[in-house]
Structure 1
């Protein structure tokens, strides 16, 4: 995927920040995936009323100690799909289990190893999942600014694009426990090409940058880290 050419020091800062953010080394075994996920609707899914995200601790009933066997007991084996996911640029393959529920409650777990007994993180979260602050997939740019204050974000249009650097926000306590990624509206690049280019590429931009305003930016991905070590 094409990337903008920036000062090497900016690239170094961004990479270092992501390493700290994820609590991982630079080893591809722990790389973020590309910013794509799927939503599934399954009839007669189990009732799930606890859709609270507690960064670093739990996602509803899923905790640091949840196993695949636990998922089958809680949600039913027929709703589980085992798969492998790839890191950015196809680097690294990681075991995962997709849990297909309805009404925005679906999610996936990435495991620390093939035994699927220790969750690394929870991702592909539907819109029903929220933090105590009310942050979840679909949260608007204005809402994020209200809840996070001033923050910095990696430019759009590359594998780590749109990642919010939480250490620069009011929710810095979630650093290393929560990953939030935003993206512009689907046609923003065509409608506002100058503004889109101004906040794209592997560089860091302030949330106060005026070029974000017309792009229809919202939160598109939430990843909750449970056992990053």
Structure 2
């Protein structure tokens, strides 16, 4: 029978510091540390919803300290509310790090407008200043489409913190679950009825339809969570 279970405590082994200088909210330290600690060389992670890069910076610092070769794709539109300037470009991909992106050969963003935003530049600059820029690929793309960029059972860790509506969150869970490898985690944030009822409804609907146990960190203000794929 599927259950909601308190996530096992993970003792922090890495000591990130530079992420603290970046604007934003972050409280899923255990999830990110455990993902890095358990990852093998060549692992491939995804973070959906990067904003200014605070959580990504934390993840990058853990990766750097671990000495592992872990590739992370950040997927976001970077359409921050405070950003009122957008220079339109078209069919434009923003590759960073070592020039790798998750776009498979032959993929085209036909008719999909992508914009260069200050929020994206802020994110990349924050990660540069922290010395972790090299670990990331920046994919400025809507998450409801971006799952097609990945083959099934190909990813080692997925963290979803993008669209917090019921529909948006549910689509991300349904679309990305097949992409994570067996035994690995599909995780997220804001499983709190008071703050994000849409996320709670989406997560509950997903776990019931997939018949999965849900692991939650109730000691954290915005309640991170994860599913383990079997």
Give the TM-score normalised by the residue count of structure 1.
0.33
How high is the TM-score relative to the length of structure 2? 0.33
